[in-house]
Homo-oligomer: A and B are copies of this chain.
């Protein structure tokens, strides 16, 4: 009698889960530059205004999307009670770093609004639990955990920065871009830039992820030293 089912498709039926998942999918496929409410609504088969029923603005949606994605990081760091707390802390840090490299848009929203981000809090606590095992004072423990978090997010954010215009346009490759930068360093006056010349070859052959690990190890060594472990 009624043809409601046939027409039901005309009106989108959304949910917070659908909105956030689709937001993540759009961010992953197109990057944050192309992440607009119009593009998102179109993917959802909905009107532009619909999304505002679930979130009050774009920032809140990005907060939720970034927290949603942290579930993977939490799952990958579930079982960590190895003999060495520092090793376990390193595992959490590296997993988080890799997640941000894969999703550059994460860096800017991680732990930005903790009320909307329970997973960020869980991850922070998980890292903290490892450092707690070092028997530092609460203050030292808090500072160490904050330092690790800051280093991971900061370094990842730096690396996941939008590449220069020329690379984005596909005019030159990323490798070519590094070569150009090396050539630019080499052309500088060695007396004015002794350090740059000193590390020129290292710069030319460096890998971002490896360099991140090296830096993380320095920080963890400092923490271990403080703990006297």
Known: A164-B113, A218-B143. A138 touches B194 (CB 8 A): no
The reply on A174 being an interface residue by CB < 8 A is no
Chain copies in the assembled complex: 2
The reply on A223 being an interface residue by CB < 8 A is yes
CB distance from A19 to the nearest CB of B (A): 19
Cβ contacts A194-229/B at 8 Å (1 or 0 each):
111011011100100001101111111111011000
Task: Please determine whether B222 and A217 come into contact, CB atoms closer than 8 angstroms.
Answer: yes
Task: Please determine whether A158 and B154 come into contact, CB atoms closer than 8 angstroms.
Answer: yes
- List, in ascending order, chain B residues with CB within 8 A of A184's CB: 114-115
- List, in ascending order, chain B residues with CB within 8 A of A139's CB: 199, 202
Cβ contacts A137-158/B at 8 Å (1 or 0 each):
0111111111100111111011
Given pairs A215-B219, A222-B222, 11 additional interface contacts (CB within 8 A): A113-B164, A122-B193, A125-B192, A132-B194, A138-B202, A147-B155, A150-B215, A151-B154, A151-B219, A154-B157, A218-B226
